[in-house]
Amino acid sequence: MTMQAERPKALYAGTLPEAFQLTLRERPDEVAFHATDEIPAMTWAQYAEQVRTAAAVLAGLGLRRGDTIALLFTSRREFHFLDSAALHLGITSFSLYNSASLDAMRFVLNNSGTRAVFTEAAFAERAAELGAIVDEVVVMSSEPHDLTDWDTLAGEADADFDLEAAAVAVSPDDVATLVYTAGTTGDPKGVELTHANITFAMRTFVERMEIPQGANQLSFLPMAHAMARMMDHYVAMMLGFSVSICADPARILADLKDVRPSFFASTPRVWEKLRADIDNAVAGVADGERRAEITRVVELGIERVRAEQKAFEAGLERPEFDFTPDEAELLRNLRRQVGLDRISASIVGGAPVDSEMVEYFHALGVPMGEAFGMTESSAVCAANPPSRVRFGTVGPALDGVTVRLAQDGELLLKGPNVMRGYRGMPERTAEAIDRDGWLHTGDVARVDGDGYLRIVDRKKDIIINAAGKNMSPTLIQSALARATGLVNHVVVIGDRRPYNVALVVLDANEVLRFARAHGVEADDGSELLDHPIVKAELDDAVARANSGLSRPEQIKSYRVLEADWVPGRDELTPTMKLKRASIVRKYAEIIDEMYETAKR
């Protein structure tokens, strides 16, 4: 662990505004936000002036410590200005999902007791529909509108507003943010996270991950996502991060190449796309000898990391192993092609992770490790240290976090990172945190002898077939997703059934790429979902997946669904988690038909 004396003072702050002010004093002229095509870079001193203006506007509207505001923005700097201002005033600020329905937005505004909504031109019409619920709707827009105008308020704000004095009044026990968990069933729950929760979680996470001061990060997830808010916003305050904002999610891979971050945290799907990019680049090397050499070195890297894993499991030190200068340069070029050549630490989490993918990136020299957490634990409670990643685990619990397993294998945890509770839902809070203070995660887990955690599956998602066999749908789904790059989403069904079937949603872009590589021309991959070459690939993929599964786990039948699944709708939460119960209900006829067809 890095000694406190070697770390920035902001990392040990008791509140987020204290961390912001300490970082500002230490790094006033260093970059806080990197330039984009249209917007110049911004230093911490310039950032602080924007926060000062925003805080003066909030105070001018009569907003005070303990009040709640909601932000409705795409990925842009203005979110950071407003949220940081709210933190300095002791105001609880939270983000609305842009894709949420009007009813869902109304629910969270009523549940949270929100006094004001702040938004941009793109959502002005939607925000106007929320005006009856809150005291004020403020729009940042150069276009004409009938709502309260941000620029007008900023022009009238107190130019000498004392931001530093306001920050001193904020307590570690004040609620810094609400993060609404979309949930796979029922109404969303507003997780109340205090300044103490967040500063503890981010400090222990940074120390575990050995993230250097002044690292740079690419921000692309919506700020309603707990991981984005923690890693791209709060850690930046505590560690002096510089942030590059990806305004268009479709440009993530392109922006990674431009930004070349030193720290990167993402869900598995982005990492899978990065791997596909590398594999396609290698396959496209015209020189056969060069292509064979690249493949050989990658396979050599895989041998190395497998040897490391065996040593770790045996309790031994990392074995000595060096690439030749040419081999090392070749791997460096592969990393550079996707913007990962400067990475010093990286995280994959937020969804089940394929260990083989982690192995692949380690073979290339990317120190990727799984981490685990839930919104209720301030987004993180366990993580693999970069120097000793154990594949298939989410690492040991963070220092200061205690874990144990319930009799049924459910992971329970305690620590300063555990939420205060669900906003306005004492009964739901009592269900999540028992009388002894243990947070019930809902995840079935195992703990290795040296404290590394292995997440088996969601407790409520475990399949128990007609013969009483317990199975992890995540394990089965991952096997199929690993067998082919065409699959975007897969849901395995088999609870109280004689065998398993699967609903499959394909990635139209990957289907198009696959078809063209096999001589089939088309303009849109969605036109090829039932093409014989695609069906043959899926049949083979199911066979490959089944070969690594036990007989009860194997997929007997599958059906490709034509419609894509959109986050925030029937099948996926806004954070891309599968809504299993909703999916089973919606596609009940198709599921029953698969079982009936298989009987014939």
| Residue 248, pLDDT score | 84
- Whole-number percent of the chain with pLDDT over 70: 98
| Residue 120, pLDDT score | 94
Q: How far apart are CA 530 and CA 313, in angstroms?
A: 45
Is the same domain home to 524 and 582?
yes
CA neighbours closer than 13 Å in the CB half-sphere of residue 343: 27
Per-residue pLDDT, averaged over 157-177, amounts to 95
E strand intervals along 476-564: 487-493, 500-506, 555-560
Going by C-beta distance under 8 Å and a sequence separation of 6 or more, which residues neighbour residue 535?
none
Per-residue pLDDT, averaged over 261-290, amounts to 87
86 pLDDT higher than 50:
yes
Output 344 or 112, whichever has higher pLDDT.
112
How large is the C-alpha radius of gyration of the chain? Answer: 25
Q: What is the CATH number of the domain that holds 524?
A: 3.30.300.30
1 pLDDT higher than 50:
no
Q: Exposed (0-12), middle (13-18) or buried (19+): which is 568, by Cβ within 10 Å?
A: middle
Per-residue pLDDT, averaged over 4-32, amounts to 91
Q: Output the 3-class SS for 558-574.
A: EEECCCCCCECCCCECC
User: How many helices (H) and strands (E) would you count in the chain?
Assistant: 21, 25
Count of other CB atoms within 10 angstroms of residue 324: 10
Question: Strand 382-383 to strand 487-493: parallel, antiparallel, or no bridges (unpaired)?
Answer: unpaired
| Residue 182, pLDDT score | 63
Q: How far apart are the first and last CA of the chain?
A: 62
- Across 521-534, b (16+ Cβ under 10 Å) vs e yields eeeebeebbebeeb
Is the same domain home to 448 and 488?
no
Per-residue pLDDT, averaged over 18-36, amounts to 95
- Tokens standing for 300? 């050599």
* Alpha helices by DSSP H, 314-354: 325-337
Is the same domain home to 453 and 536?
no
pLDDT digits (tens, 9 = 90+) for 415-441: 999 999 999 999 999 999 999 999 999
Q: How far apart are CA 253 and CA 366, in angstroms?
A: 16
460 pLDDT higher than 80:
no
Q: How far apart are CA 491 and CA 407, in angstroms?
A: 28
Question: C-alpha dihedral over 97, 101, 103, 104, to 10 degrees?
Answer: -30
Please report which confidence band the pLDDT of residue 598 belongs to, taking 50, 70 and 90 as the band edges. low
Write the CA distances from 285 to 293, 294, 341, integer angstroms.
11, 9, 20
Listed as own residue / partner, the contacts of 510-515 with beta carbons closer than 8 Å and 24 or more positions apart are 510/276, 510/485, 510/486, 511/486, 513/280, 514/485, 514/486
Give the orientation angle of helix 508-517 with respect to helix 532-547, to 10 degrees: 100
| Residue 98, pLDDT score | 86
Is the same domain home to 325 and 418?
yes
Q: Output the 3-class SS for 60-91.
A: HCCCCCCCEEEEECCCCHHHHHHHHHHHHHCC
Q: How far apart are CA 198 and CA 376, in angstroms?
A: 11
Count of other CB atoms within 10 angstroms of residue 132: 8
Is the same domain home to 480 and 520?
yes
Which of the 8 DSSP states describes residue 229? I
Please report which confidence band the pLDDT of residue 599 belongs to, taking 50, 70 and 90 as the band edges. low
Count of structural domains, the chain:
3
Is the same domain home to 100 and 206?
yes
206 pLDDT higher than 90:
yes
Looking at 425, 459, 493, the residue that finishes a domain is 459
| Residue 314, pLDDT score | 83
Looking at 200, 228, 262, the residue that finishes a domain is 262
Per-residue pLDDT, averaged over 561-567, amounts to 84
| Residue 226, pLDDT score | 87
Please report which confidence band the pLDDT of residue 286 belongs to, taking 50, 70 and 90 as the band edges. confident
Side chain identity, residue 277: D
| Residue 5, pLDDT score | 46
Count of other CB atoms within 10 angstroms of residue 317: 9
Output 164 or 465, whichever has higher pLDDT.
164
| Residue 2, pLDDT score | 42
Question: Strand 453-458 to strand 439-447: parallel, antiparallel, or no bridges (unpaired)?
Answer: antiparallel
Side chain identity, residue 472: S
Going by C-beta distance under 8 Å and a sequence separation of 6 or more, which residues neighbour residue 147?
124, 127, 128, 131, 137, 138, 139
- Tokens standing for 146? 């009938």
Can you state the percent helix, strand and coil of the chain, rounding each to 5? 45, 20, 35
Q: How far apart are CA 410 and CA 405, in angstroms?
A: 5
580 pLDDT higher than 90:
no
pLDDT digits (tens, 9 = 90+) for 495-552: 878 899 999 999 888 888 888 888 888 888 888 888 999 999 999 999 999 998 888 8
pLDDT digits (tens, 9 = 90+) for 467-499: 777 788 888 988 898 888 899 899 999 887 889
Going by C-beta distance under 8 Å and a sequence separation of 6 or more, which residues neighbour residue 5?
none
Is the same domain home to 166 and 301?
no
Side chain identity, residue 460: K
Is the same domain home to 226 and 276?
no
Output 236 or 284, whichever has higher pLDDT.
236
Mean per-residue pLDDT over the chain, rounded: 90
Is the same domain home to 124 and 174?
yes
Looking at 427, 459, 491, the residue that finishes a domain is 459
- Tokens standing for 409? 């294998």
| Residue 50, pLDDT score | 97
Question: C-alpha dihedral over 468, 469, 474, 480, to 10 degrees?
Answer: -120
Per-residue pLDDT, averaged over 558-580, amounts to 82
Is the same domain home to 293 and 209?
no
Write the CA distances from 479 to 103, 503, 544, integer angstroms.
37, 14, 8
| Residue 30, pLDDT score | 95
| Residue 141, pLDDT score | 85
Question: Strand 421-422 to strand 368-372: parallel, antiparallel, or no bridges (unpaired)?
Answer: unpaired
pLDDT digits (tens, 9 = 90+) for 356-391: 889 999 999 998 989 999 999 999 999 999 888 999
Is the same domain home to 590 and 483?
yes
- Which structural domain, as residue segments, surrounds residue 571? 462-599
Is the same domain home to 447 and 468?
no
Q: Is-contact 446 409, C-beta < 8 A?
A: yes
Count of other CB atoms within 10 angstroms of residue 299: 11
4 pLDDT higher than 60:
no
Secondary structure class of 172 (helix, strand, coil): coil
Q: Is-contact 98 108, C-beta < 8 A?
A: no
pLDDT digits (tens, 9 = 90+) for 65-80: 999 999 999 999 999 9
pLDDT digits (tens, 9 = 90+) for 178-193: 999 865 446 789 999 9
